[in-house]
Amino acid sequence: MDFGLKEGRQFPGLQTKRGSEAEETIAADWNVFHLKDEIVAVRVEKVAAKLPPLILDQIRHQARHDGAIFACGRNAFAKLRQVDADDLIDRCGLDVDKLLASIETPPHSIIIISRLIAGDAKKYAADLADALQFLLRNPGFGYSNRAKLDRGNGLARADHPETLPQHPDHLLERHVQRLERSDTRRSGSFPQFDASKGYSGCKQHDRSGCGRSIRARPLAIRQDFLRLLQPGITWPVPNVWGDICTTRLAICNFTDRQQTTCALATSNNFPAEFWPADDASASRHLRRTGRGIWISRVEPLKGTGLLAALASARQADRFHIFGPLQDDPERMGLNAPNIQIHDLVSDVSATDFTSYVAFIFTSLFEGMPNIVLEMSQHAIPMVLADIGGLRDTFDEDAVVFVKHLDLENDTARAFSRALDQHRQSVAAAFLPGDP
């Protein structure tokens, strides 16, 4: 492994993962260790049992109807990978028992989120997260592993949600992260945890010290789970989750983003209710510090002046710039204390941006910028300069467009308003009583 691992060499009989992908591997049959400066995960490839000749004969017989059956090679099809359907460790690296057991206590709310409509659902889930965090600002709705449990109504209470403790090394979060990454690499596929992973907004790694436990937030799960929460269906870890019926359930519709409502379950089994925050706490929430991300070549044509003005106007926020520097940052006005310049992101699709509240694209001239397309795969709001073909690619209800105005400061103010407006409108969409 000293020679060739980094270059992508295949090791016969072994499966390998590197870097963050390796770090997030928790399935029991992987060995995770440090190799030089890198984390590596290795496991012995499963030796598949030989397929019975009867099976192979049936396949050969059908190949006369469709040549694609032998697309992998007429002499090679017998040696293809074999996977047990119920072995999710083998299928997708998911240890079901560990995963379910890792949710140690009932979340205060479960959000049932629709599946399908690839891409959009993640964005939708992220919006929900934003809205619910906004709505649940009320003291008493935060939830943490250290909070006092109010058994009377099955909810956990924390008086200071902002100071919720972090949870170390949470398995579900790591899975969510892992799936997020694998999904972004495989367009068209849509693992079942999209909603929760998009929603969870969880931090990149616990060691980053900037996130909260997923248990500190409502849990978003696939709508299929709803059936499993009905009476008569045994939750797989009843002793762990306790009485699931005391958990708040919200079933979220996905008809139209503008009309999206958080339809609250009203049956006795699923009492659900969300309280809107009062104006003061809503304002506090909107004013809270956020981290925006900006990725591009760092040069004036990409709107660095505009970004500098925006950073100056929103001093409580931080702006992280990723990209190759074309000039001295100071000369481009990027020396404000709330601007941090980082190196180029080597793989946008595999990088975790969930701790950012928005992706900001300020470029002055573009055709169809790849970075916007790549960033659209991540579940964070996007505030985009209204240029090039972006408007033909994204709906207005999916991103916020900002037109370049004559004066840079005016445009910066428009960007700033867009950042506020997006968060407010998303939250308002889920207020009880809305259509």
Partner 1 sequence: MTDITVTVIFHREGALALPALASMRDLVDHTRSLGLSVEARAVLDRPDDLTRHIVASRGDWLCAPEEIEFDDLGLSRNAGVQAARGKFLAFLDGDDLWGTDWLYHAHNAAISKNIDAIWHPQILYYFCETDFKRPPSGSLPDTRAQSYYLRHASSDEERFNQDALFLNNIWSANVFTTQSIHLRYPYDCVDRTKGFGIEDWSWNMKTLWEGIPHHVVTDKVHLIRKKSSGSLGQ
Residues 65 to 84 in contact with partner 1, rule: CB under 8 A? 65-66, 68-73, 75-84
Got the DSSP string for 259-303? T--EEEP-STTS----PPPPHHHHHHHHHS--EEEEES-BSGGGT
Name every residue whose Cβ is closer than 8 Å to that of residue 112 and which is 6 or more positions away in sequence: 220, 221, 222, 223, 225, 226, 249, 250, 251, 252
Binding-residue pattern over the window 355 to 374 for partner 1, x denoting contact by CB under 8 A: --------------------
Question: Looking at 63-71, 303-311, 330-338, 377-385, which segment touches partner 1 (CB under 8 A)?
Answer: 63-71
Cβ–Cβ < 8 Å for 128, 113: yes
CB of 357 to partner 1, least distance (A): 25
Tokens encoding 302:
């990409």
Taking CB under 8 A as the rule, which mask of x and - marks residues 23-52 in contact with partner 1? -------------------------x--xx
- Residue 86 touches partner 1, criterion: CB under 8 A: yes
Tell me the residue ranges of DSSP E strands in 301-390: 318-322, 339-342, 358-361, 382-385
| Separation CA 200–CA 218 (nearest Å) | 8
Min dist. Cβ of residue 54 to partner 1 (A): 4
Q: How big is the chain, counted in residues? A: 435
Using the rule CB under 8 A, which residue among 91, 151, 207, 331 binds partner 1?
A: 91
| Residue type (1 letter), 417 | R
Q: Is 9 in the site for partner 1 (CB under 8 A)?
A: no
Counting beta carbons within 10 angstroms of the beta carbon of residue 159, is it exposed (0 to 12), middle (13 to 18) or buried (19 or more)? exposed
Among 26, 42, 99, 298, binds partner 1 (CB under 8 A): 99
Q: How far is the CB of 324 from partner 1 (least distance, A)?
A: 31
By beta-carbon proximity to partner 1, the closer residue of 230 and 289 is 230
Q: Which one, 191 or 290, has the nearer CB to partner 1?
A: 191
Q: Per CB under 8 A, does 13 bind partner 1?
A: no
172-211 as b/e: b if 16+ CB within 10 A: bbbbbbbbbbbbbeeeeebbebbbbbbbbbbbbbbeeeeb
How many other CB atoms are found less than 10 A from the CB of residue 248?
22
Applying CB under 8 A, among 27, 41, 42, 94 the residue interacting with partner 1 is 94
Give the Å distances, CA to CA, from 58 to 76, 77, 80, 162: 15, 12, 16, 61
User: Which one of the spans 85-93, 102-110, 153-161, 423-431 is the region binding partner 1 (CB under 8 A)?
Assistant: 85-93
Taking the least distance from each CB to partner 1, the nearer of 235 and 394 is: 235
Query: Nearest approach, Cβ of 10 to partner 1 (angstroms)?
Result: 6
Distances (CA, A) of 321 to 26, 284, 292, 381: 32, 26, 9, 16
Q: How many residues bind partner 1 (CB under 8 A)?
A: 64
Of the candidates 2, 3, 7, 10, which one interacts with partner 1 according to CB under 8 A? 10
User: What is the contact surface with partner 1 in residues (CB under 8 A)?
Assistant: 10, 48, 51-52, 54-55, 58-59, 61-62, 65-66, 68-73, 75-88, 91-92, 94, 96-97, 99-100, 114-117, 121, 188-193, 222-225, 227-228, 232-234, 236, 251, 253-255
